[in-house]
A and B are shown apart, each in its own frame.
Chain A
Amino acid sequence: MSEPISALNGARIEGIAVIEELGLQGMITLRGDHSDKGLVKAATGATGQKMPGQRQALVEGESGLCWMSPDELLVLVPYTEVDAKLVEMQKALGSSHARAVNVSDARAVFRVSGPNAREVLAKMAPVDLSPEGFKPGDFRRTRLAQVAAAFWMEEDGAFRIVCFRSVAGYVFNLLQIAAQPGSDVGAF
């Protein structure tokens, strides 16, 4: 059988920052009470991460937990392990009222890196991306120009962006324009 293909099949471009579409990332949207024991067990058990604080992402490699809202987490797991993780999580959830759904294929993931990565994002998202305002591990659910998106900052200062798969092309084009040569702002 053929391999699964991500939205842009690994497109990449360089300007004042490097823009890369990453391959498929396992993603499970988990909704429920963050203080519910079953939910905590399901989330932390699937990823080996602690529960994230408000607007935080705790991610290592392909596993992690992102704070989406007071009653929603984005659970990151390796793409090939999603089904198994879902079964595990359902078991951990037990009778807790929660909803865990695979959305891995409904998303596209980008990496924006380089010294101007902050500025490239600050052209699209109404978020304080200054070094004081946004640090590694910070997470925002926001918009990029006209579409919904979420992103977090990695330890090396690069950003991971998650958007809907159908608008991956739009987001890639946006990032390419925002990273066009000569467009560095010099604000941060």
Chain B
Amino acid sequence: MSNRLSKLGRLIDRSKQVTFSFNGTTMRGFAGDTLASALLANDQMMMGRSFKYHRPRGVVASGAEEPNALVGLGEGSKFEPNQRATTTELFDGLKAQSQNHWPNLDFDIGAVNTHLARFLPAGFYYKMFIHPQPFWKHIYEPFIRKSAGLGKAPDAETRDADTYEHFYAFTDVLVIGGGVAGLQAAKAAAVTGVKVLLVEQTAHWGGRAPVDGGSIDDGPVDKFVEQIVAELEAMDNVTMRLRCMGAGIYDHGYALSYERLTDHAPHAAGPRHRLWRIRAKQIVTATGAIERPLSFAGNDVPGVMLASAMRDYVVNWGVTPGERVVVATNNDDAYRTAITLKNAGVDVLRILDARASGGGALADEARALGIRVDPGKAIAKVSGGKRVKEVSICNQEGIGGARDEVDCDAVAMSGGWSPVVHLWSHCGGKLIWDEAQAHFRPDPDRPPLGVDGAGFVSAAGSANGALALGEVLSDAHATGLAAAKTAGGKAKRPKAPNGDSTTETPMEPVWLMPANADTPLRMKSWLDFQNDVKVSDVQLAAREGYESVEHTKRYTTLGMATDQGKLSNINGLAILADSLNAEIPQVGTTTFRPPYTPISMGAIGGEARGKVFQPIRRTPMHDWHDRNGADWEPVGLWRRAYAYQRPGESVEAAVNREVKNTRENLGLLDASTLGKLIVKGPDAGRFLDMMYTNMMSTLKQGKCRYGLMCSENGFLIDDGVVARIDEDTWLCHTTTGGAERIHGHMEEWLQTEWWDWKVYVANVTEQYAQVAVVGPNARKVLEKLGGMDVSKEALPFMEWRDGQIGGFDCRAYRISFSGELSYEIAVPASRGQAFWDALMEAGKEFGVMPYGTECLHILRAEKGFIMIGDETDGTVIPQDLGLHWALSKKKEDFLGKRAQERSHMADPDRWKLVGLETVDGSVLPDGAYAVGEGTNANGQRNMIGRVTSTYYSANLGRGIAMGLVKHGPDRMGEVIEIPGTDGKSYKAKIVEPIFYDKDGEKQNV
């Protein structure tokens, strides 16, 4: 059994007991425990079930690389699935649930899959579920979705109770990893005076060196760590962060680091995670190395663990994963585990060293402690269901026969070490294969390149392939210095500390144990624990023709789980290389992509949730609308009132009331959102003649003109009323959604094409609150407020004047988008609400009502006025809409003119704007297509047009619509067929696109 030792445990505080629960059972641990170490201390070796076969699984590792021990943490609004027990710091009240089992962890129905394993080989899903096709959507996919997946998704209706944030940081040198290499690299860089940011993913400095032993400058490693941390903390140019994982490296020295602030203290104030968005001149990856498992049958039985992890549990947390342990290795380092265990009073039954020659000085040390060392031996098989029971021992060279059985309860395995090259590789750093260590390490000649073509990332310590303590420190020291020099540090030649550790004999690569394991053994030799990929699966993929490691990955799912194959990738590609008779470097690795380990969606989103998910733009009268029943509609980032609902009134009824009232009495529209661009300069008139299809340079001061704007491809992009302010100043109204876009459009042409024209543009949209005062009583209310002369004579239709109304400085435009007598009054935004209030008050006797955007749409549609975005969709030209009158024939050029002359644009078969009246007065479905005779090549009805705007007109008591119809203007009076998606087919008569006051008398009074 696994249990707590009476001594050891450098990271735990035995005076502080912590209570937590696992699958509802209350357990106890100590402050400083991880969830994994605390579970082991409670003899909870089995921590979950596997993804595909639902095999019992225990913890394998002690850090970020853990594939098995994934749990659901917390409850309700704090629930999060797939959390690694090894990186979860224990806190009082922690609640964890194991995953991937039903009905419970001990007894699981899905475990039957393990007996069906021979029917579920690699590529099973691809082969099985491809036919018949319709089965996929309705049978296969729902089934697979149910049986696949690791943790549960949080409840759909629950909202995350925590907050998150980003933080922008700028530094000269970013050091990722706070082990002895990272600390030394940071110090070497910092003494040159540059700014250094040092981040470490765990809660402790020093990494695993204090566990592995050795000495630095003749003192213990712990002491060195303590000293160097104190030195760095005292330096003003150094920032240090624990629980902050370097997640990704990107172009231009950009890096992301993921800081977990309150995961270990969930009741603390402040955000839960913080995503550091870092710009660094140089980045040093001191990310360490990860031990590789050995591939033998039953290497996934709970109790089989990485040798280094077992050592960590003993030294760091005073927990032993077993009482009778067998160690299997191909290198000297694993002997340290055996020695550590033995010294802690744990029985070490055997060290099986796959190397025929056995180990070196560490092996001698183990033997001296009385541990039996068997060179040339291997594990044939581990037996046990939920716990290691027995190990069968065979010769490494062979197929796994002639076994010797040993009863034990834990197995420590070591297949050698792989540098963590992920961050080095994210932005294009290349790797080389190191034959001696049998691992990939960063190729210093091919680093990720910055804008200047020089490398901006360097690896230090074990991450660079330097595994012995002495090499780690000297490499990190040199790397830190070099990075600082490149980042502008002063020339300094500090001395590197001296690291000393027991000399090791070379390791020998072991990709399969025993070397020629037979098929039944290979089918139980796991490569990828989390995704249940075995040696036999990769070999099958190779036999089926998968040569590329990337394809094999997708086919077998090797390395595709949440751990992204941190333990499995190298072993897997070695098996693939062997199966293909290729060299390992020829096969290469799959792509390393950020983030290093999964980071929370909350951290990615940062503050952008809830009320600041997206900016909402508000007009000065927004709050009034909100208090007065506004049914909000998003228009760009603005919110506009669609209609103002009265108590008990439906939205439709509100719209109909507003439509009638505006035509009969007086309506107010908040038109503040309409874009307002000032165009000024000696060349402004000439410029606007190019921007608009019609002539703007000839517009007289004090007058307004409706204008169309096209892209250079001829398509309509915006429209609006232009007012000539003075000799060299125009004010251009744009659509609500068009203000920023058209401003950019103007600037682009001014800056790239006509850079020598003297024109400046300013976007003054938000300077003004603009109110449309509309209806037969519009003039009466303005005259009641008093001030400037708004009579027909003083302010005729399509003119503007500056003045005062009701004491408000304003600019009044006599323009109409409704066909009614209408003024648009612009006042400074800070007086908008007061002006609106004055109009509402004065308008009472004239039947004033605010109206929303739907009423605005209906009024304009009754008049046949087009709307950008309804009648246009980026493929429509003014000619399609019968707007020939707005296309200047006098101008030599304007944007779109040449394009509109091209054959397709001049094609008489283009769909043209018409009005549509349903035969029965009903309302046509929006966006519906009109169908004609015959069918197209796909057997579908030929289409002859579509509905662009459709409304119920309360004024006319019937549905009205506009649409684009082939030869439409030539087919007045014809009835066409428009099928809806509601099963009905509508019949509509083609009419002129103007339904109300055809002669325009009402707006011109």
Residues on A lying within 8 angstroms of B by beta carbon are: 1-2, 4-7, 24, 29, 31-32, 97-99, 101-107, 119, 122-130, 132-133, 145-147, 164-170, 173-174, 177-178, 180-185, 187
Known: A164-B617, A165-B766. 17 other contacts (CB 8 A): A5-B830, A6-B830, A7-B620, A24-B830, A105-B829, A106-B764, A106-B767, A119-B167, A130-B170, A133-B170, A166-B617, A167-B617, A169-B616, A170-B612, A170-B615, A181-B269, A183-B269
Q: Does B268 have its Cβ within 8 Å of any Cβ on chain A? A: yes
Determine, out of B32-40, B329-337, B677-685, the stretch whose residues face the partner at the interface: B677-685
Complex Cα distance A89/B166, Å?
A: 42
> Given A105-B828, A173-B612, A180–B619 Cβ distance below 8 Å?
no
List B residues 735-780 near A (Cβ within 8 Å): 758, 760, 762, 764-768
Determine which of B270, B614, B617, B830 lies in contact with A105 in the assembled complex, contact meaning CB atoms within 8 Å. Answer: B830
Whether B767 contacts A29 by the Cβ 8 Å rule is: no
Complex Cα distance A182/B760, Å?
A: 46
Binary per-residue interface labels of chain B (276-299) against chain A in the complex, 1 for a CB within 8 Å, 0 otherwise: 010100000000000000000000
Whether A1 contacts B760 by the Cβ 8 Å rule is: no
Q: Chain A contacts of B168 at CB under 8 A? A: 122-123, 125-129
Whether B680 contacts A99 by the Cβ 8 Å rule is: yes
Whether A166 contacts B760 by the Cβ 8 Å rule is: no
Complex Cα distance A145/B830, Å?
A: 25
Residue of A nearest to B165 (CB): A123
Q: Chain B contacts of A185 at CB under 8 A? A: 167, 274
Q: Chain B contacts of A129 at CB under 8 A? A: 168
Whether B618 contacts A166 by the Cβ 8 Å rule is: yes
Q: Chain B contacts of A166 at CB under 8 A? A: 617-619, 638, 766
What is the CB-to-nearest-CB distance from A78 to chain B, in angstroms, rounded to a whole number? 14
What is the CB-to-nearest-CB distance from A6 to chain B, in angstroms, rounded to a whole number? 6
Residue of B nearest to A171 (CB): B615
Q: Chain B contacts of A181 at CB under 8 A? A: 269-270
A-B contact pairs, 29 of them (CB 8 A): A5-B831, A98-B760, A99-B680, A101-B680, A104-B830, A105-B768, A106-B764, A106-B829, A122-B169, A125-B168, A127-B168, A133-B170, A145-B615, A146-B615, A164-B617, A165-B829, A166-B619, A166-B638, A167-B617, A170-B612, A178-B165, A180-B269, A180-B270, A182-B269, A182-B270, A183-B269, A183-B271, A184-B270, A185-B167
Q: Chain B contacts of A4 at CB under 8 A? A: 828, 830-831
Whether A187 contacts B239 by the Cβ 8 Å rule is: yes
Q: Chain A contacts of B767 at CB under 8 A? A: 102-106
Q: Chain A contacts of B279 at CB under 8 A? A: 128
Q: Chain A contacts of B678 at CB under 8 A? A: 99, 101
Residue of A nearest to B270 (CB): A182
Q: Does B500 have its Cβ within 8 Å of any Cβ on chain A? A: no
Complex Cα distance A122/B758, Å?
A: 38
> Given A1-B808, A165-B766, A183–B270 Cβ distance below 8 Å?
yes
What is the CB-to-nearest-CB distance from A43 to chain B, in angstroms, rounded to a whole number? 15
List B residues 590-606 near A (Cβ within 8 Å): 606
Q: Chain A contacts of B768 at CB under 8 A? A: 105
Q: Chain B contacts of A7 at CB under 8 A? A: 620
What is the CB-to-nearest-CB distance from B635 to chain A, in angstroms, rounded to a whole number? 12
Q: Chain B contacts of A177 at CB under 8 A? A: 163, 165, 607, 612
Complex Cα distance A141/B170, Å?
A: 18
Q: Chain B contacts of A29 at CB under 8 A? A: 762
Q: Does B370 have its Cβ within 8 Å of any Cβ on chain A? A: no
Binary per-residue interface labels of chain B (677-701) against chain A in the complex, 1 for a CB within 8 Å, 0 otherwise: 0101110000000000000000000
Residues on B lying within 8 angstroms of A by beta carbon are: 163, 165-170, 195, 239, 268-271, 274, 277, 279, 606-608, 611-612, 614-620, 637-638, 678, 680-682, 758, 760, 762, 764-768, 807-808, 828-831, 833-834
Residue of B nearest to A172 (CB): B612
Residue of A nearest to B268 (CB): A182
Q: Chain A contacts of B831 at CB under 8 A? A: 2, 4-5
> Which has the most chain B C-beta neighbours within 10 Å: A102, A104, A106, A122?
A106
What is the CB-to-nearest-CB distance from B478 to chain A, in angstroms, rounded to a whole number? 27
Residue of B nearest to A79 (CB): B830
What is the CB-to-nearest-CB distance from B986 to chain A, in angstroms, rounded to a whole number? 40
Q: Chain A contacts of B611 at CB under 8 A? A: 173
Complex Cα distance A98/B680, Å?
A: 8
> Given A97-B681, A127-B168, A145-B608, A31–B762 Cβ distance below 8 Å?
yes
Whether B680 contacts A169 by the Cβ 8 Å rule is: no
Q: Chain B contacts of A126 at CB under 8 A? A: 168, 277
Top 7 closest A-B pairs, CB basis? A182-B270, A182-B269, A4-B830, A99-B760, A166-B617, A106-B766, A105-B829
Q: Chain B contacts of A2 at CB under 8 A? A: 831, 834
Q: Chain A contacts of B618 at CB under 8 A? A: 166-169
Complex Cα distance A97/B683, Å?
A: 10
Whether A146 contacts B760 by the Cβ 8 Å rule is: no
Whether A187 contacts B167 by the Cβ 8 Å rule is: yes
Complex Cα distance A177/B274, Å?
A: 13
Complex Cα distance A7/B619, Å?
A: 9
What is the CB-to-nearest-CB distance from A145 to chain B, in angstroms, rounded to a whole number? 6
Residue of A nearest to B761 (CB): A99
Whether A146 contacts B617 by the Cβ 8 Å rule is: no
Complex Cα distance A105/B271, Å?
A: 35
Q: Chain B contacts of A164 at CB under 8 A? A: 617, 766
What is the CB-to-nearest-CB distance from A90 to chain B, in angstroms, rounded to a whole number? 11
What is the CB-to-nearest-CB distance from B265 to chain A, in angstroms, rounded to a whole number? 10
What is the CB-to-nearest-CB distance from A165 to chain B, in angstroms, rounded to a whole number? 5
Complex Cα distance A123/B167, Å?
A: 4
What is the CB-to-nearest-CB distance from A31 to chain B, in angstroms, rounded to a whole number? 5
Complex Cα distance A96/B167, Å?
A: 44
What is the CB-to-nearest-CB distance from A143 to chain B, in angstroms, rounded to a whole number? 11
Residue of B nearest to A169 (CB): B618
Residue of A nearest to B831 (CB): A4
Complex Cα distance A106/B767, Å?
A: 4
Whether B614 contacts A146 by the Cβ 8 Å rule is: yes
Whether B766 contacts A101 by the Cβ 8 Å rule is: no
Q: Chain B contacts of A125 at CB under 8 A? A: 168
Determine which of A24, A103, A122, A165 lies in contact with B167 in the assembled complex, contact meaning CB atoms within 8 Å. Answer: A122
Determine which of A24, A103, A146, A187 lies in contact with B762 in the assembled complex, contact meaning CB atoms within 8 Å. Answer: A103
Determine which of B271, B612, B762 lies in contact with A145 in the assembled complex, contact meaning CB atoms within 8 Å. Answer: B612
Q: Chain B contacts of A178 at CB under 8 A? A: 165, 607
Q: Chain B contacts of A105 at CB under 8 A? A: 766-768, 828-830
Residue of A nearest to B834 (CB): A2
Determine which of B169, B616, B681 lies in contact with A99 in the assembled complex, contact meaning CB atoms within 8 Å. Answer: B681
> Given A128-B170, A145-B612, A180–B638 Cβ distance below 8 Å?
no
Residue of A nearest to B676 (CB): A106
Determine which of B166, B682, B808 lies in contact with A97 in the assembled complex, contact meaning CB atoms within 8 Å. Answer: B682
What is the CB-to-nearest-CB distance from A126 to chain B, in angstroms, rounded to a whole number? 5
Q: Chain A contacts of B637 at CB under 8 A? A: 167
What is the CB-to-nearest-CB distance from A52 to chain B, in angstroms, rounded to a whole number? 19
Q: Chain A contacts of B268 at CB under 8 A? A: 182
> Which has the most chain A C-beta neighbours within 10 Å: B612, B619, B833?
B612
Complex Cα distance A97/B765, Å?
A: 23
Complex Cα distance A147/B740, Å?
A: 12
Q: Chain B contacts of A123 at CB under 8 A? A: 165-168, 606-607
Q: Chain B contacts of A167 at CB under 8 A? A: 615-618, 637
Residue of B nearest to A98 (CB): B760
> Which has the most chain B C-beta neighbours within 10 Å: A99, A132, A182?
A99
Complex Cα distance A185/B168, Å?
A: 11
Complex Cα distance A98/B759, Å?
A: 9
Complex Cα distance A78/B475, Å?
A: 61
Q: Chain A contacts of B829 at CB under 8 A? A: 105-106, 165
Complex Cα distance A125/B607, Å?
A: 12
Residue of A nearest to B613 (CB): A146
Q: Chain B contacts of A182 at CB under 8 A? A: 268-271
Complex Cα distance A123/B678, Å?
A: 34
Complex Cα distance A98/B767, Å?
A: 19
Complex Cα distance A151/B548, Å?
A: 52
Complex Cα distance A105/B676, Å?
A: 14
What is the CB-to-nearest-CB distance from A8 to chain B, in angstroms, rounded to a whole number? 10
